[in-house]
Amino acid sequence: MNSRRNFIKLSAWGTTLLTGLYPAGKAFAGTLGKGAANKPIVISTWNHGMPANDAAWKVLSGNGSALDAVEAGVRVPEADPEVRTVGYGGFPDREGKVTLDACIMDKDSNCGSVAFLQHIKHPISVARKVMEETPHVMLVGEGALDFALSQGFKKEKLLTPASEKDWKNWLKESKYKPVINIENHDTIGMLAMDANGDLAGACTTSGAAFKMHGRVGDSPIIGAGLFVDNEVGAATATGLGEAVMRMVGSHLVVELMRQGNSPQDACRLAVERIIAKQKDVKDLQVGFIALNKQGEYGGYCIHKGFDYAVRDKATNKLIDSKYKL
Residue 40, preceding bond cis, omega within 30 degrees? yes
Compute the distance between CA of residue 296 and CA of residue 122 in angstroms, rounded to an integer. Answer: 29
Least CB distance from residue 138 to ligand ASP, whole Å? Answer: 15
Compute the distance between CA of residue 303 and CA of residue 286 in angstroms, rounded to an integer. Answer: 8
Q: Which of 65, 238, 250, 292 binds ligand ASP (CB under 6 A)?
A: 238
Q: Does 233 bind ligand ASP (CB under 6 A)?
A: no
Least CB distance from residue 215 to ligand ASP, whole Å? Answer: 8
Indicate the residue among 160 and 206 with the shorter CB distance to ligand ASP: 206
Nearest residue to 38 (alpha-carbon basis) of 245, 199, 153: 199
Q: Which of 90, 233, 241, 305 binds ligand ASP (CB under 6 A)?
A: 241
Instruction: Provide the Cα torsion 310, 315, 229, 188; round to 10°.
Output: -10
Q: Does 249 bind ligand ASP (CB under 6 A)?
A: no
Helix (H) or strand (E) holding 103: strand 100-105
The one segment of 135-143, 167-175, 213-221, 317-325 that binds ligand ASP by CB under 6 A: 213-221
Q: Does 123 bind ligand ASP (CB under 6 A)?
A: no
Output phi, psi for 60, to 5 deg: -65, -40
3-class SS of residue 298 = strand
Least CB distance from residue 46 to ligand ASP, whole Å? Answer: 9
Q: Does 92 bind ligand ASP (CB under 6 A)?
A: no
Q: Does 240 bind ligand ASP (CB under 6 A)?
A: yes
Catalytic residue selected from 99, 187, 236, 238 = 187
Least CB distance from residue 55 to ligand ASP, whole Å? Answer: 20
Nearest residue to 50 (alpha-carbon basis) of 280, 261, 315, 291: 315
Q: Which of 207, 233, 263, 295 binds ligand ASP (CB under 6 A)?
A: 207
Compute the distance between CA of residue 196 and CA of residue 279 in angstroms, rounded to an integer. Answer: 44
* Number of residues located near ligand ASP, criterion CB under 6 A: 13
Q: Which of 73, 92, 112, 217 binds ligand ASP (CB under 6 A)?
A: 217
Indicate the residue among 60 and 139 with the shorter CB distance to ligand ASP: 139
Nearest residue to 232 (alpha-carbon basis) of 208, 250, 207: 250
Least CB distance from residue 122 to ligand ASP, whole Å? Answer: 17
Q: Which of 148, 208, 269, 302 binds ligand ASP (CB under 6 A)?
A: 208
Helix (H) or strand (E) holding 63: none
Q: What is the 3-state secondary structure (H, E, C) of 260-287?
A: CCCHHHHHHHHHHHHHHHCCCCCCCCEE
Site string for ligand ASP, 165-194 (x = CB under 6 A): --------------------xxx-------
Give catalytic status of residue 31 as yes or no: no
Spatial neighbors of 27 by CB under 8 A, at least 6 apart, are: 260, 261, 262, 265
Compute the distance between CA of residue 277 and CA of residue 114 in angstroms, rounded to an integer. Answer: 28
Q: Which of 65, 219, 230, 261 binds ligand ASP (CB under 6 A)?
A: 219
Indicate the residue among 59 and 274 with the shorter CB distance to ligand ASP: 274
Residues that bind ligand ASP (CB under 6 A): 185-187, 205, 207-208, 217-219, 238-241
Q: Catalytic residues, which ones? A: 187
